[in-house]
């Protein structure tokens, strides 16, 4: 594997910051009003909405840490991609489109995000500002 150029290193770090910022915004809204998040989860038909809201906040916090540090980036990015696709279907999926066509756009926006996370999972955290932790054989 050839060394990364300066622009490649910068691009990887910026991408990690963008992923961290996206999940940090989500977790910030959850912590600002966990009741509202639980209400949104309940409205989608899920049981135990407050418990699930806390689970989501904890997961998103761990994802933020993984993207900021680079630690366990491959599994975190894979989990993040699955989570983002799940959120798209659960909260903006086809059952929502008939009543609000804007939901289709919200649904579709989850897929480029998931694609970026999958790309990050394959390529890892880069060689700079990354805690070298992860799955065996993949730093």
Model pLDDT for residues 33-79, shown as the tens digit of each residue: 999 999 999 999 999 999 999 999 999 999 999 999 999 999 999 99
Orientation of helix 6-32 relative to helix 34-43, angle to 10° = 90
Mean of pLDDT values over 12-38: 97
Most distant CA atoms of the chain, gap in Å = 51
Region for 48 from its dihedrals, namely left if φ exceeds 0, alpha if ψ lies in -120 to 50, beta otherwise: left
Mean of pLDDT values over 86-95: 94
pLDDT number for residue 64: 98
Phi, psi of 111 (to 5 degrees): -75, -40
pLDDT for residue 133 is more than 60? no
Convert the pLDDT of each residue in 91-115 to its tens digit: 999 988 888 889 999 999 999 999 9
């Amino acid at each position: 594997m050839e060394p990364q150029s300066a622009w490649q290193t910068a691009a990887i770090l910026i991408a990690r910051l963008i992923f961290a910022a996206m999940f940090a915004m989500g977790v910030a809204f959850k912590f600002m009003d966990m009741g509202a998040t639980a209400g949104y989860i309940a409205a989608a038909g899920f049981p135990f909405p407050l418990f699930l809201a806390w689970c989501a906040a904890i997961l998103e916090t761990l994802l933020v840490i993984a993207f900021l540090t680079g630690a366990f980036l491959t599994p975190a990015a894979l989990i993040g991609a699955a989570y983002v696709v799940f959120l798209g279907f659960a909260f903006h999926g086809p059952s929502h489109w008939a009543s609000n066509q804007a939901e289709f756009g919200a649904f579709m926006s989850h897929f480029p995000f998931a694609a970026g996370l999958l790309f990050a999972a394959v390529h890892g955290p880069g060689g700079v500002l990354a805690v070298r932790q992860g799955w065996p054989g993949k730093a």
